[in-house]
């Protein structure tokens, strides 16, 4: 794993300490989760923007509802 050094304002550090105290070893996981959420949101935003620039036309859907409607959850067989 790589390490990143980040400077925070006093206010941000105080808020972070209340939410994810360093002494409980929650801070690193909290920060990793926050970064992952931000990266996911950015990717989702870019995907949305791409679809707005080039909308998907009628008939280009890959989803076939007829196939979905016929699908049934597989039943489990008991081992003998």
Ordered by start, the domain boundaries in the chain are: 10-55
**pTM, two decimal places:** 0.64
Q: CA 31, 32, 36, 42 torsion: positive or negative? A: positive
Q: How confident is the model at residue 41 (pLDDT cuts 50, 70, 90)?
A: very high
Structural Rg of the chain based on CA atoms = 23
Residue 58, pLDDT above cutoff 90: no
Q: What percent of the chain has pLDDT over 90?
A: 56
Give the number of residues written for the chain: 80
Question: pLDDT digits over 60-72, tens only?
Answer: 667 666 676 665 6
41 close to 35: Cβ distance less than 8 angstroms: no
């Amino acid at each position: 794993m790589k390490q990143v050094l980040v400077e925070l304002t006093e206010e941000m550090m105080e808020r972070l300490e209340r939410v994810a105290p360093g002494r409980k070893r929650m801070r690193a996981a909290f920060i990793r989760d926050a970064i992952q959420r931000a990266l996911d949101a950015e990717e989702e935003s870019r995907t949305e923007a791409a679809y707005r620039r080039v909308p998907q036309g009628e008939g280009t859907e890959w989803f076939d509802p007829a196939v979905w409607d016929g699908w049934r959850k597989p039943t489990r067989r008991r081992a003998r």
